[in-house]
A = this chain, B = another copy of it.
Amino acid sequence: MINIETCLTPEILSLHQLEGKIAVVTDVLRATSCMVAGLNAGVKSVIPVMTVEEALDYSKKGYITAGERGGVKVKEFTIGNSPQEHMQEEYHGKDICMTTTNGTVAITEAKKRADQIVIGALLNVTVVAEFLKSAQKDVVIICAGWKGNPSLEDTLFAGALIDRLQEECNLTDDASFMALTQYKACKDNLVESIQFNASHAKRLSGLKAKSDLAFCAQEDYCDALPILRNGEITI
């Protein structure tokens, strides 16, 4: 049996033991959805970094810069935080350096302690579950949240993942049980649940953002399994 716990916000990550475990990091709107969709489409690798300055340093080495601050594309970057941008043909075979408000921070914190970092999104939730079943190590699901607060869409990812592992796992904390309840309550209309109830969805305005949300709320769009190896995320 796999022991699973869920960290609803990186603010309490220090309370979770990660050593010897697999950390699944998610930021459904939109950092990890970008990574999954981009790598699946043909991006070669994604390097997550904490700061805009680090990303600009990578751009000098030929990396495509991507990411946002407060939901808005960083002015000096090539692309923002929309999965559609990351999937464009011109970035196939390219290396992207990415920094976002919540998602890349969670990855950076987790990699200091976890045995392995897997990038999860609703887009690839089943393949992540299959990987965890085969790995048979304990798991911490790390939700990026929004500026320290728990977020509905990341909690729904945690619940969706747990739902797929149910017969093979023990939920070792209350957050995991609550994530599963949330997913079961919303799974028949994920897009609407996120659109009408997630505060993050309310922050995303405009047509493009709405189509991003509908895209990111799809379960199992692909079977890409991005894993962090030596600071680089690849599939």
Binding site for B on A (CB under 8 A): 8-9, 11-12, 15, 146-152, 155, 172-175, 177-178, 181-182, 184-186, 197-200
Partner of A152, one of B152, B177, B184, B200: B177
CB <8 Å contact, A155 and B172: no
A8-B8, A173-B199, A185-B185 are known; give 19 further A-B pairs, CB within 8 A. Answer: A8-B150, A11-B12, A12-B12, A12-B148, A12-B149, A15-B149, A149-B174, A150-B150, A150-B174, A150-B175, A150-B178, A152-B174, A152-B177, A155-B178, A172-B199, A174-B200, A178-B182, A181-B185, A182-B182
Known: A150-B178, A178-B178, A181-B182. A11 touches B8 (CB 8 A): no
Number of copies: 2
- Chain B residue at minimum C-beta to C-beta distance from A16: B149
Q: How many angstroms between the C-alpha atoms of A8 and B11 in the bound complex?
A: 12
